[in-house]
Amino acid sequence: MDPIRLLYPLRTYLIVSGTLENPNVMTADWVCPLSFNPPMVGVAISKKRYTYNLVSKFKEFVISVPSMDLLDDVWKAGTVSGKNVDKKKLLSFTFFKSKRVSVPSIKECVANLECKVVNEIEIGDHVWFVGKIVASNFDKKTFKNAIPKGEFILHLAFNNFTTNKKEIKSL
Amino acid sequence: MDPIRLLYPLRTYLIVSGTLENPNVMTADWVCPLSFNPPMVGVAISKKRYTYNLVSKFKEFVISVPSMDLLDDVWKAGTVSGKNVDKKKLLSFTFFKSKRVSVPSIKECVANLECKVVNEIEIGDHVWFVGKIVASNFDKKTFKNAIPKGEFILHLAFNNFTTNKKEIKSL
């Protein structure tokens, strides 16, 4: 048993790279907050991924937060490479201009976090990109009072997913 | 709205540090796989935490994976500092000897990942500890066929938690 699997289920996010004219999208489970102030986040990307080339070149990325209703497109984004296919045509996402980076955001997602790369570290078989969050947008209903209310994508393993319950347990 | 909150809900894990005789436990949402081969994982810890001192000193930690039934102890571990209180007495966990590190594992958790620190990077208001997973143990029923079957802890915000559904959507 691969020990990394013991940390699953993990949330699945979308990493947008490239430009508004030529955006690329991959899925990523390996996304993690790193700092509240300044707000910083990390994402692990394999060098084999087309997204690696784009993030390494432009030094910017957007983390888009899909809810469960986008699962089919999320799966496509994660299993087809942008090297061979135009993801803008493949996916039913609406890309729009971000506020502070040239990488676009995704309208159908409940949040978009605009990031500028401040560090890039090779760790094992992935590259760890450290990004400073320079702007964001989000759905006010989903994140009312900072308590997420949607149904989000949880990756179990391989092609198996689930989601969170809606009940809240307050301690 | 703090942009980091847009990445929530996130899984909550336990970070064990110290020794079998004097273990400490904190909760951590900011845990992330970094590499499959070799298996590596990162955890962000604030310098204010007692766990920071212990991990920085011993260069080892264990990530223990609690399921939802341990939520009360998980909450205590995250809100009381080991600086002032003996967590071994506070928590109803059974600590046992790990295989490859001096930091103990927790019997009640569904998995324990034994890690040796290979890098320590200050990023914003936290320190990012990069660990190599040198051994692990897990509950065979929970992780049968590498597809997690338990009810895990998802942190929404502040004192609000939820869990995952048990239904699996296979694509």
Q: Could you tell me the CATH number of the domain that includes residue A80?
A: 2.30.110.10
A115-137 pLDDT, tens digit per residue, is: 999 999 999 999 999 999 999 99
Subunit contact A33:B7, Cβ cutoff 8 A: yes
Which parts of chain B register pLDDT below 50? none
- Classify residue B35: in a domain, yes or no: yes
CA-to-CA distance for A126 and A128, rounded, in angstroms?
6
- Classify residue A83: in a domain, yes or no: yes
Rounded to an integer, the average pLDDT of A148-168 is 97
- Classify residue A171: in a domain, yes or no: no
- pLDDT (0 to 100) of residue B82: 82
Q: How far is A19 from chain B (nearest CA, A)?
A: 22
Which residues on chain B are in Cβ contact (under 8 Å) with A152?
9
- Classify residue A113: in a domain, yes or no: yes
- Classify residue B4: in a domain, yes or no: no
Q: Which of residues 64-123 of A touch B (CB under 8 A)?
A: 65, 71-72, 75, 111, 113, 119, 121, 123
Contacts of residue A108, defined as CB under 8 A and 6 or more positions apart, other chains included, come to: A66, A70, A92, A93, A94
- Classify residue B3: in a domain, yes or no: no
Q: How far is B32 from chain A (nearest CA, A)?
A: 6
**What's the domain count of chain B?**
1
pLDDT bracket for residue A1 (50, 70, 90):
confident
- For residue B120, the cross-strand partners are B129
Of the candidates A8, A114, A99, the one whose C-alpha atom is nearest the C-alpha of residue A64 is A114
Subunit contact B148:A123, Cβ cutoff 8 A: no
- pLDDT (0 to 100) of residue B83: 85
Which residues span the domain enclosing A61? 7-163
Give the amino acid at A18: G
CA-to-CA distance for B125 and A124, rounded, in angstroms?
25
The label of the residue with tokens 């900011």 reads B30
A25-76 pLDDT, tens digit per residue, is: 999 999 999 999 999 999 999 999 999 999 999 999 999 999 999 999 999 9
- pLDDT (0 to 100) of residue A99: 98
Residue of A nearest to B137 (CA): A3
Query: Is the pLDDT confidence value at A83 over 90?
Result: no
- Classify residue A94: in a domain, yes or no: yes
- Classify residue B88: in a domain, yes or no: yes
Q: Supply the ipTM of this predicted assembly.
A: 0.97
Query: Is the pLDDT confidence value at A5 over 90?
Result: yes
Query: Is the pLDDT confidence value at A146 over 90?
Result: no
Rounded to an integer, the average pLDDT of A82-101 is 92
Residue of A nearest to B140 (CA): A1
Query: Is the pLDDT confidence value at A100 over 90?
Result: yes
CA-to-CA distance for A114 and A123, rounded, in angstroms?
23
**Residue A39 near residue A125 (C-beta atoms within 8 A):** no
